[in-house]
Amino acid sequence: MAELSTLARPYAKAAFEYAREHDALAPWSEQLGTAAAVVADEGLASVLDNPSLTAAAQAQTVTDVCGDALGAEVKNFVSILAENKRLSLLPEIHSQFAQFKANLEKSVDVEVVSAFDLDDSARDRLADVLGRKLEREVRVSTTTDSNLLGGVLIRAGDLVIDGSVRGRLNKLAEAMNS
């Protein structure tokens, strides 16, 4: 949703800048992920939506559920979100924070879906080629999908490279129908 990302962006940017200035990107990313998972839980979401809960009570509920997983700074951040009625944005804030972090570190997570298991050398070659093309450090995760018939489907953020047999057949059919 464009609206959620627009509302979350200033909070994600502020959290990112604070974490970068204090050399704490990894801990902040992990803690925001924990808080985002807690807020995204359906059971807790219904509790947080209770209109009788004050902002302080909402923040306290989230920090209590997270326990020692949150540091003082992130607890304060959660309190600010609660005061501004933005706790529900935590998953989107975490997502944008992770994107800012990946851009700074010049890294990208790549998902490779293939018809068969890729061996380590093929995965390493693919990571090397993609790293040069994207000019980033590439972290590859692989899955298999027997419906592909052959080839690979690569997802790196918004970039999708469909090198599967099915994708090529679809392109051929589309070209023939045009």
Q: pLDDT digit string (tens) for 84-140?
A: 999 999 999 999 999 899 888 787 888 888 888 888 888 889 888 888 888 878 888
Whole-number average pLDDT of the chain? 88
Phi/psi for 157 (5° steps) reads: 65, -120
Residue 161 pLDDT: 83
Q: pLDDT digit string (tens) for 8-24?
A: 999 999 999 999 999 99
Residue 154 pLDDT: 86
Q: Where are the domains of the chain?
A: 2-102, 107-177
Helix locations, 111-164, DSSP H: 120-134
**Angle, in degrees to the nearest 10, between helices 55-66 and 72-83:** 150
1 has a pLDDT exceeding 70: no
34 has a pLDDT exceeding 80: yes
In whole angstroms, what is the distance from residue 28 CA to residue 125 CA? 32
77 has a pLDDT exceeding 90: yes
Average of per-residue pLDDT across 25-35: 94
Percent of the chain at pLDDT exceeding 90: 40
Report the Cα 7 to chain-centroid distance in Å. 17
2 has a pLDDT exceeding 80: no
74 has a pLDDT exceeding 90: yes
Of 29 and 3, the one with more pLDDT: 29
Which CATH architecture group holds 2-102? Orthogonal Bundle (1.10)
141 has a pLDDT exceeding 70: yes
In whole angstroms, what is the distance from residue 58 CA to residue 47 CA? 9
Average of per-residue pLDDT across 32-61: 89
| Residue pair 4/89 in contact by the 8 Å Cβ criterion | yes
